[in-house]
A = this chain, B = another copy of it.
């Protein structure tokens, strides 16, 4: 249901949420979350444009979350790189369909359910309580050997 690109975006954001809000290099994110480097670059551009991450260039630069993980919904992250298609009018253009037919209502319901589920879950919800367990993308160890 959720595209590979959106999953990459979620892993990157969850990884950044697992740190202490210091800057993290693109290479570290790519390696830890098993996301192809070039692909990750494109995803990070979208996440930055949406105000979810911020970056600093140059030596010692990198990425971090722009806002607390509690304030970022998974829906926001997914919508940066993907869409959840809602159906508001007859896609076939039948002029007598002033409201959705049962089939298109059903298809829209599936999108609405996914949207609601993602909207109700923040990035903080995806971070495990303990560093002993980890979410995919959530760092078990941070640079400097901290566990």
Contacts and interface: CB of A to CB of B under 8 A. Distances in A.
A136 B106 contact: no
Interface stretch (A21-29, A49-57, A112-120): A112-120
Given A1-B111, A84-B1, A102 B126 contact: yes
Interface stretch (A6-14, A39-47, A59-67): A6-14
A113 to B, nearest CB: 5
A90 interface: yes
A81 interface: no
A147 interface: no
A85 interface: yes
B97 A126 contact: no
21 contacts: A1-B84, A1-B110, A14-B103, A74-B106, A96-B133, A96-B134, A101-B126, A101-B128, A101-B135, A101-B136, A102-B126, A102-B135, A103-B137, A104-B136, A106-B117, A106-B118, A106-B125, A110-B113, A110-B114, A110-B117, A113-B117
Interface of A: 1-2, 7, 10-11, 14, 34, 74, 84-85, 90-92, 94, 96-97, 101-104, 106-107, 109-111, 113-114, 117-118, 121, 125-128, 133-138
